[in-house]
Amino acid sequence: MNTKMEENIKNGLDFNTVDYSADGTALRIIDQTLLPGKIKFLEIRAKEDIREAIYMLRVRGAPAIGVAAAIGLQVVAQDICARCGDDTDAYFDELHETADYLEAARPTAVNLKWALRRMTAKAEALRSCAAGTAEVTARSVTAELKKEAETIRDEDIDVCRRLGEHGLTVLKKGQGILTHCNAGHLATVRYGTATAPMYLGHERGYGFRIFADETRPLLQGARLTSFELSEAGMDVTLICDNMASSVMKNGWVQTVITGCDRVAANGDAANKIGTSGVAILAKHYGVDFYIAAPTSTIDFDTATGDDIVIEQRDGDEIKKLWYSEPMAPDAVKTYNPAFDVTDNSLITGIITEYGIMYPPYDKSLGELKKIIKENKNK
């Protein structure tokens, strides 16, 4: 794994969070575990290192994970191709094994599965089209997979900007916005999901006042959201998670926008732990609560939030991670789910690249599913 240090980032939009290395042989990511203290880019080639980067949150945020998985799989495919030569069966077997290996890194983020299955489906389509001919080779499939990974990357940028335009329609100049965790530029290739309307509004002089929950236990709001928004020159205030009620009661927040890692077919949404509590507070204080969700994050095969697998993480993230001395006795048990599910009844709307979906979600998301299918068939 190669590293490259960068002295500074001039603006939150000056780089792709996830991309190929300059020579196209490695996955290039910014190591988010070191932010904001250090800015380090990693160039990763081995499947073990790619999985470790996803699991250890060096790359995180559902869209960014999906793009990283797509590029990462193609990077590994380059190595498989070099080793397997003309043995296409061995090539495809190892390609699928690698996809399954990467998919298991984080079970809740649906973009990871979506991107990997799109890549393997592309590979299988190429094999099927060339069945009975001598045209399909590991080299040709690997080359086409690079094009597909680059398409997934470029689509993410376009989707986030379109999502931002739709999100901006429900916001007013000068208003207060609260966000939880990091669904920003760092969680995507560019712009972010929840932050896309904020970036676009900032470009157009909307003068938003943004409140960022610190987001325990990994502090993505403190380390990442406040970092990137302040770097972009926005008015951002960092608060502890248990202060969200206070800023809402004071009338400082008119809208909450968060990202999500998976939306069920009924509109239930899994996002970083604590999101559901923010949604309950917003409902109590009459504050609009929006989920920003690219359609790649919507899992139409999952009926409700009860069916979403919630990742459980090491308890030391609560007791020890940010402290020079443990903050709780070693014998104390911990409960450390990475996500919770926000009930659809608490969600004002789901912002997608196709527009904003409103309740009843079984109807609006059902219509969205038809639109997506029609676009694929064009």
Beta bridge partners, 193, equal none
Asked if 278 and 244 count as a contact pair (C-beta separation under 8 A), the reply is yes
The vertex-291 CA angle with 152 and 274, nearest 5°, equals 110
Q: What is the DSSP letter of 187?
A: G
CB atoms under 10 Å from CB of 89, counted, come to: 10
Show the DSSP H helices in 272-360 as ranges: 275-285, 316-319
Whether 261 is catalytic is yes
How far is CA 10 from each of CA 93, 229, 246, rounded to the nearest angstrom?
44, 12, 33
- In sequence order, which residues have a C-beta less than 8 Å from that of residue 165 and are 6 or more positions away? 197, 200
Out of 19, 213, 261, 268, which one is annotated catalytic? 261
How far is CA 32 from each of CA 16, 106, 195, rounded to the nearest angstrom?
13, 16, 17
List active site positions.
261
